[in-house]
């Protein structure tokens, strides 16, 4: 996924309709920007606005906050140096930004959570333990778990039982820290063939069986538009077990308004449910440069204008 490209889709009238006001960025560009009052906690990721803000993470955080975004998502947080994690955590607290997910453990090639091998289990449980320390540094409340691929040699229901058991073990570790796993179903048709978890009803059933406040669903709407569609009805049915959302239009996995999905209606529905969590902007940008970065901001302003 190319996170450097953007499509300029917004207009000045869209910005005005969203109630924006002109301010100045804290980033090195000191460029005039439009600060929005978003209804939901949309979370950009590092690199999304690098042409405006530069490549320093702290400057990026300032730019994100200046634009009116109130959250950040960083899949790679766990791999960043401890000193940088601490610095990011302190700056986010100062700016009032909520930390979204980072990846605690995930494997796209091997059987992990569907395995009963002690050595496999110990590896991903250690990933979970290590993630507790990272979550404390950046004040994260959610961590992503991708439960690996399925084993073609074992009956599906046996594997499901092992996934449930292993998620219970993982959730027990995180419950004490006040952190929740969000398990992410991934599409088989385009991006991740062979992953064990790929549908929302499947994730719903597993979370119900784990029965822990520290095991919920990461509802990535890009993946589920490809896998099963029916986005709003599936959100409704799975609502009690949904802990986190991610965004990406389809086709292309770029910002809202660039594909077939009506994110304005989807966001309106999520907001009507009283959702106060984070919505991760896990997508690329459909055009390069500052023009494209402004297009991403405009797309969210337009989609949030309900």
- Whether the pLDDT of residue 8 is over 80: the answer is no
How many residues appear in the chain? 306
Tell whether the model's pLDDT for residue 273 goes beyond 90: yes
> Which residues make beta-bridge pairs with 99?
72
Query: Is residue 287 situated within a structural domain?
Result: yes
User: Is the pLDDT score of 144 beyond 70?
Assistant: yes
Nearest to 2 by CA among 227, 253, 290: 253
- Higher per-residue confidence, 24 vs 60: 60
pLDDT value at position 28? 41
- Does residue 22 have a pLDDT over 70? no
Judged against a pLDDT cut of 50, whether residue 19 lies above it is answered with no
54 in a structural domain = no
- Answer yes or no: is pLDDT of 120 > 90: yes
Mean pLDDT of 50-77: 98
Question: Which DSSP letter does residue 187 get?
Answer: -
Residue 25 has pLDDT above 90, yes or no: no
Cβ-based burial of 152 (10 A; exposed 0-12, middle 13-18, buried ≥19):
exposed
**DSSP code string of 117-184:** -HHHHHHHHHHHHHHHHHHHHHT--EEEEE-BBPPTTS-HHHHHHHHHHHHHHHHHHHHTTT-EEEE-
What number of CA atoms fall less than 13 Å from residue 49's CA on the CB side?
A: 30
SS3 for 144? strand
Mean pLDDT of 21-36: 51
Whether residue 25 lies inside any domain: the answer is no
Evaluate whether residue 67 is within a structural domain: no
Average pLDDT of the chain is 91
pLDDT tens-digit map of 180-195: 999 999 999 999 999 9
- Across the range 102-116, mean pLDDT stands at 97
Q: Are 279 and 41 in contact (CB under 8 A)?
A: yes
pLDDT score of 7 more than 70: no
Asked if residue 2 belongs to a domain, the reply is no
Between 29 and 156, the more confident residue is 156
Tens digit of pLDDT for each residue in 182-239? 999 999 999 999 999 999 999 999 999 999 999 999 999 999 999 999 999 999 999 9
Q: How far is 214 from 232, CA to CA, in rounded Å?
A: 24
The CATH number linked to 272 is: 3.20.20.150
Give the pLDDT confidence score for residue 2 in this predicted structure. Answer: 39
**Tens digits of per-residue pLDDT, 281-299?**
999 999 999 999 999 999 9
136 domain-assigned: yes
For residues 108 and 172, what is the distance between their CA atoms, to the nearest angstrom? 24
pLDDT at 82 > cutoff 70: yes
Helix (H) or strand (E) holding 32: strand 32-35
33 pLDDT band, cuts 50/70/90, is low
CA proximity to 142, closest of 164, 174, 170, 119: 174
pLDDT above 60 for 18: no
Instruction: Confirm whether 66 is domain-assigned.
Output: no
Kindly indicate the confidence band of residue 35, based on its pLDDT and cuts at 50, 70 and 90. Answer: confident
pLDDT exceeds cutoff 70 at 161: yes
Total of domains in the chain: 1
* CA angle (40, 224, 131) in 5-degree steps: 65
- Higher-scoring residue by pLDDT: 129, 1: 129
Please report whether residue 7 resides in a domain. Answer: no
Q: Which domain holds residue 249?
A: 12-19+39-49+74-303
Burial tier of 169 (Cβ tally within 10 Å: 0-12, 13-18, 19+): middle
Instruction: Let me know: does 193 contact 183? Beta carbons within 8 Å.
Output: no
CB 122 within 8 A of CB 173: no
């Amino acid at each position: 996924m190319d996170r450097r490209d953007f499509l300029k889709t917004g207009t000045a009238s869209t910005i005005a309709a969203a109630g924006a006001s002109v301010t100045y960025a804290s980033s090195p560009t000191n460029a005039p920007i439009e600060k929005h009052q978003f209804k939901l906690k949309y979370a950009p990721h590092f690199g999304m606005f690098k042409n405006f803000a530069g490549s320093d993470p702290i400057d990026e955080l300032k730019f994100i906050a200046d634009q009116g975004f109130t959250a950040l998502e960083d899949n790679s947080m766990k791999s960043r140096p401890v000193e940088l994690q601490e610095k990011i955590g302190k700056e986010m607290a100062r700016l009032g930004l909520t930390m979204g997910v980072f990846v605690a453990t995930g494997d796209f090639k091997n059987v992990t959570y569907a395995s009963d091998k002690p050595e496999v289990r110990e590896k991903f449980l250690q990933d979970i333990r290590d993630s507790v320390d990272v979550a404390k540094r950046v004040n994260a409340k959610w961590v992503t778990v991708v439960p690996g691929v399925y084993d073609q040699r074992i009956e599906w229901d046996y594997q499901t039982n092992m996934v449930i058991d292993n998620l219970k073990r993982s959730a027990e570790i995180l419950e004490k820290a006040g952190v929740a796993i969000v398990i992410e179903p991934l599409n088989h048709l385009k991006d991740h063939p062979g992953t064990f978890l790929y549908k929302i009803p499947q994730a719903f059933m597993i979370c119900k069986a784990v029965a822990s406040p520290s095991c919920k669903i990461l509802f990535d709407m890009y993946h589920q538009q490809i896998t099963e569609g029916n986005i709003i009805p599936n959100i409704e049915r799975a609502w009690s077990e949904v802990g986190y959302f991610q965004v990406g239009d389809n086709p292309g996995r770029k910002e809202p308004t660039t594909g077939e999905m009506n994110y304005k209606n989807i966001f309106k529905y999520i907001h009507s449910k009283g959702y106060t969590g984070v919505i991760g902007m896990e997508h690329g940008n459909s055009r390069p440069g500052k023009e494209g970065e402004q297009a991403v901001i405009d797309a969210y302003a337009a989609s949030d204008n309900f």
